[in-house]
Amino acid sequence: MSLTTKLSSNFLLTTLIGSLLALTACETTRNTSMTTTASLISDHQLNHILATHKQGSLLPFTPMVKVRMSGNDIEIRNGGYGSDAAAHPTNPMQFYALTDRGPNADFTGSLGKGKMFPVPNYTPRIGLFELTKEGQVVKIKDILLKDTNGNPITGLPNTANLGGTGETPYNLAGNPIVVNESKPFDKTSNPTLTDDFGLDGEGLVALKDGTFWVSDEYGPHIVHFDANGREINRINAFEADSRNNMIVNGKRILLPAEFANRRANRGMEGLTITPDETTLVGIMQSTLDNPTKAVRKQDITRIVTINLETGKVSQYLYKQEKAENSNSGIVALDNRNFLVIERDGDFEMQKPGTQKHIYKISLEGATDLESVAESANVKQDPNFGLTIDNKSLEQFLLDTNNSQSNWSTLLKAGIRPVRKQLVLDAVKAFNYPHDKLEGIWLMGNGRLGLLNDDDFATWSTDGVLEQKYLDKNKTVVDANRLYIATGIDY
Look at residue 18 and tell me whether its pLDDT is greater than 90.
Answer: no
Query: Is the CB of residue 207 less than 8 Å from the CB of residue 275?
Result: no
Distance of CA 245 to the CA centre of its chain: 24
Cα 34 to Cα 14: distance, rounded to the nearest angstrom: 36
Query: Is the CB of residue 280 less than 8 Å from the CB of residue 322?
Result: no
Cα 95 to Cα 82: distance, rounded to the nearest angstrom: 12
CA dihedral angle for residue 165, residue 168, residue 172, residue 176, rounded to 10 degrees: 150
For the chain, helix (H) and strand (E) counts, in that order, are 6, 32
Question: H/E/C letters for each residue in the chain?
Answer: CCHHHHHHHHHHHHCCCCCCCCCCHHHHECCCCCCCCCCCCCHHHHHHHHHHCCCCEECCCEEEEEEEECCEEEEEEECCCCCEEEECCCCCCEEEEECCCCCCEEEEECCEEEEECCCCCCCCEEEEEEECCCCCEEEEEEEECECCCCCECCCCCCCHHHCCCCCEEECCCCCECECCCCCCCECCCECECCCCCCCCEEEEEECCCCCEEEEECCCCCEEEECCCCEEEEEECCCCCCCCCCCEECCEECCCCHHHHHCECCECEEEEEECCCCCEEEEEECCCCCCCCHHHCCCCEEEEEEEECCCCCEEEEEEECCCCCCEEEEEEECCCCEEEEEEECCCCCCCCCCCCEEEEEEECCCCCCHHHCCCCCCEEEECCCEEEECCEEHHHHHCCCCCHHHHHHHHHHCCCCCCEEEEEEEHHHHHCCCCCCEEEEEEEECCEEEEEECCHHHEEEECCEEEECECCCCCCCECCCEEEEECCCCC
The pLDDT tens digits for 112-124 are 999 999 999 999 9
Over residues 214-234, mean pLDDT: 97
Position 71 scores a pLDDT of 77
Q: Which helix (H) or strand (E) holds 52?
A: helix 43-52
Position 6 scores a pLDDT of 35
Averaged pLDDT of the chain: 89
Look at residue 24 and tell me whether its pLDDT is greater than 60.
Answer: no
**Model confidence band, residue 462 (pLDDT cutoffs 50, 70, 90):** confident
Look at residue 134 and tell me whether its pLDDT is greater than 80.
Answer: yes
The pLDDT tens digits for 51-67 are 887 899 999 999 999 98
Domain locations along the chain: 3-34+50-485
Q: Which residue has the higher pLDDT, 133 or 222?
A: 222
Look at residue 28 and tell me whether its pLDDT is greater than 90.
Answer: no
The pLDDT tens digits for 326-355 are 999 999 999 999 999 999 999 999 999 999
Look at residue 133 and tell me whether its pLDDT is greater than 70.
Answer: yes
Percent of the chain with pLDDT over 90: 78
CA atoms within 13 A on the CB side of 188: 0
